[in-house]
Every structure is written in structure tokens, then in C-alpha cells.
Amino acid sequence: MAQPRLTSLSRLFARVGVTVFGGGDPTIAILQREFYQREWLSPEKFAIAFGLARLTPGTNVLAFCAAAGWYIRGLPGALAAVLAITIPASVLVVWLTRAYDLTTRYPLALSIANALVAAAVGTMVGAAVLLVRSQLKRGRWIRPIVISTGAFLLAYVIKLSPLQVISVAAVAGFFWPES
Amino acid sequence: MNLVVLYLLLVKATLTSFSGLASLPMVRNDFVIHRHVLTDRQLNTAVAAGRIGPGPLGIYVVSVGYLAGGVPGACAGWLAMITPAFLIIPMLRFLGARAEHPRARAVARAVLFAGAGLMASAAAPLARDAITGPLSLAIVLASFILIAITRVDSLWVMLGAAVIGVLAFQF
């Protein structure tokens, strides 16, 4: 795996932090795409960082960034990743808090916000597909498809909380080893 | 509001939740009901600002901090948001070589696949709000294809959507 400079690492996290909409999940999926293209993080370490982040209190995506940064560049990497992904986005959210009334008063702002939400939905679904596809090995697709579809049904139809769904998946993963 | 108290209240809320908006009931309880620092309308503004902007949904605590204590309050909110993230490092250290065990990797990958299912389930209700006509449906499909199939940077996907939003308003 390549070991990037801290500036390159910070630049990537800052860029993703201010350009990916729709919450933490699409952010993680976009980061995954970037890591694989740059060969910064193996699929195995990505899966561990993702799984543990789900079990860490607070905002999961930030725990994921700390873990990914830690794997890539140790403690400085973890700090750089979390600071870079949160500082520019936090400045933006303060600005948006001040400007929020504009979106309700100006139709142009509303039109842009609606288009961004639509793009965020497409990004989220695309990111979900990417997340599964990148871990698929040739001929071993039943386990990923069953677990991801099962998780979707547990969350969307049965309305289990994300933590409950993750717990069920962890138990399933333990008793259904990879062939 | 005292910045240390603001930080402690927000970090209590983030530490006791496991996803972005799960801290909202505790924040409302502390800031709106008990201490009357914010109104429900202000809290809604904070959540909306967090949702319409980029980044994690949990970023709304920065907005809560800003509304409760100005820019220093936003810094306290930011610190409260990032503090729990570093708990993962001792967990990774503890896991160490154990993480390479095939059973541990199988569990991690199962959690990752479940994450994809959760992501799709989170997108479903958002899609109901987002798809209001043929144009928004086209934006959803185009962004899906660009992210899932091509290597186009997500920055361009979002910028393209914003331009379409401007054009849709003009015409």
C-alpha cells in the first residue's frame, strides 16, 4: 500500500468533507473509492475500520476517518483526517445556519437545494452498490448479497435501529464464515 | 452560555449515541426543555443546516453550539463532535493482529455489507422527498450511474446538480 504525505491525506479528507452530501454513509463510500484508486488502504483494513466505526459512540463517519487515517499514517494521520474532514464542513454549516432562512425566502436557493438533495440520493444508492461491489470476490456473491439485502429489510421493513442491524450482521458474519 | 458546560452537554449527547442524529433527543432535552438556551425552531434550523450542507448529519451539533454561544460555541460543538471519534484508536490497537483472524475479517465484512443495506434504507425515505418530478428523478439516476459505474469525482456530480438547479429555476 502507498503511504501518502499528510498534506495529500488532509487534502483528500477536506475535499470529500465539503463535497459529499447525504451524511456519513456516502462519505465513507466515496472515501473507499478514493482509497482504492490511490492504493492507500486494503479492502481488509477498510472493512475493519468500517465495522469498528459502527460500534464507536458518536458520529460513525468520524470514527471511520480516525481509523482510516490511523491505518494510513498512524496517530498524525488520524488527527489530520478528522480535522480535515470536519473543519471546512463546520465552517460551512455555521454559514448555512446563518443563511438558512434564505432557502425558504429565495426560490433559486430552494431549487439548488432540491437538486442537491436529489443528487445526494443517487450518490447514496451508488455508494451502497460500490461498497458491496468492491468487496466481492469472483464467484462469492451470495454472502454479500444476502447480508446487505437482509440488513436493508431489517432496517426498512422491520424498522430495527442501525445498531441492532449491525449486531445481527456481526452475529451472522461470525457463524457464516467466508468460504 | 459557559463554553465548558456547552462542550460537556454536547459531548454527553454525542458519546451516548451511535449515529448522527441519534443525539438529538438528548440535545433537545438539555438545550430546549431544561435550560431554555434554544427554542425548538432554532434546533430545527440547526438540524436543517446540518442536513442541507455537506458532511455527516452529526455536524448539526456545530450549528447548535453556534446558536447557543456564537463562534466560540461552534468551536465547542465541533470539539464535542470529534471527541468520541478517537475512541476507535485504542479499539484498533487492542484488535491489532487479532483483526487479521479470518473469523474477525468475516465479521467485519458482514458489518460492511450490512452498512450497504442500511445506506440503501436511509436513501429510501430521502428519495420520496427528493423525487418530485422527472427532472429530480433524472438527477437521482444520473448521479447513481456516475458514482456506481464511472470514476467521475463526486465534486462534479454535486456541482452538476447545482447547475441543473439554477437552470431549472431560470427556465
Got the DSSP string for chain A? -----HHHHHHHHHHHHHH--SSHHHHHHHHHHHHHHHT-S-HHHHHHHHHHHHTSSS-HHHHHHHHHHHHHHHHHHHHHHHHHHHHHHHHHHHHHHHHHHHHHH-HHHHHHHHHHHHHHHHHHHHHHHHHHHTT-BTTB-HHHHHHHHHHHHHHHTS---HHHHHHHHHHHHHHS---
Contact at CB, B161 and A151, closer than 8 angstroms? no
Q: Do B111 and A60 touch (CB under 8 A)?
A: no
Following DSSP, what letter does each residue of chain B receive, concatenated?
--HHHHHHHHHHHHHT-SSGGGGHHHHIIIIIIIS-SS-HHHHHHHHHHHHHSSS-GGGHHHHHHHHHHHHHHHHHHHHHHHGGGGGHHHHHHHHGGGGGSHHHHHHHHHHHHHHHHHHHHHHHHHHHHH--SHHHHHHHHHHHHHHHTS---HHHHHHHHHHHHHHHHH-
Answer with the residue of higher pLDDT: A111 or B151.
A111
Q: Do both B82 and B139 map to the same domain? A: no
Residue B26 lies in a domain: yes
Residues B77 and B135 in one domain: no
Q: Is B105 inside any structural domain?
A: no
The nearest CA of chain A is from the CA of B84 a distance in Å of 5
Task: Tell whether B8 and B79 lie within a shared domain.
Answer: yes
Q: How many residues does chain A have?
A: 179
Q: Residue B44 falls within a domain, yes or no? A: yes
CB atoms A19 and B155 under 8 Å: yes
Q: How confident is the model at residue B137 (pLDDT cuts 50, 70, 90)?
A: very high
The predicted model gives B30-35 an average pLDDT of 88
Give percent of chain B above pLDDT 70.
Answer: 96
Residue B24, pLDDT above cutoff 90? no
Q: Is residue B163 part of a domain?
A: yes
Put simply, the answer to whether B81 touches A178 (Cβ < 8 Å) is no
Does B8 share its domain with B68?
A: yes
- Beta-carbon separation of A123 and B144 below 8 A: yes
The verdict on residue B122 lying in a domain is no
- Whole-number pLDDT of residue A139: 63
**Number of domains composing chain B:** 2
Quick check: ipTM above 0.90? no
Residue B145 falls inside a structural domain: yes
**Closest CB from B17, B56, B145 relative to A27:** B56
Mean pLDDT confidence for B122-141: 85
In this structure, what C-alpha cell is assigned to residue B69? 454561544
The predicted structure's pLDDT at residue A114: 82
Q: Is residue B104 part of a domain?
A: no
The confidence score (pLDDT) of residue A101 equals 64
Residue range of the domain that includes B29: 3-86
pLDDT band at B131 (very low <50, low <70, confident <90, very high): confident
For A26-58, the pLDDT digits (tens) are 788 788 888 888 889 888 888 889 888 888 888
Query: Among the three residues B86, B116, B142, which one is the final residue of a domain in this structure?
Result: B86
Give the residues of chain A that fall short of pLDDT 50: none
Would you tell me which residues 18-77 of chain A have a C-beta closer than 8 angstroms to some C-beta of chain B?
Answer: 18-30, 33, 37, 44, 46-67, 70-71, 75
Which chain A residues are Cβ-neighbours of B71 within 8 angstroms? 94
**B8 and B63 assigned to the same domain:** yes
Which tops the pLDDT comparison, B58 or B119? B58
B152 to chain A, any CB pair closer than 8 A? The answer is no
Nearest to B53 among A83, A96, A107 (CB): A96
For A58, phi then psi, to 5°, come to: 95, -160
Q: Has residue B34 got a pLDDT over 80?
A: yes
Would the CB atoms of A118 and B139 count as touching at under 8 Å? Answer: yes
Confirm or reject contact between B103 and chain A (CB < 8 A): yes
pLDDT in tens, B55-92: 888 899 999 999 999 999 999 999 999 999 999 999 88
- Establish, for the pair of chains A and B, how many residue pairs have beta carbons separated by less than 8 Å: 391
Least confident of A127-141, B23-37, B133-147: A127-141
The answer as to whether B114 is a domain residue is no
- Average pLDDT of the residues of chain B: 86
Taking every pair of Cα atoms in chain B, the longest distance, rounded to a whole number of angstroms, is: 59
Rounded CA separation A56/B87 (Å): 7
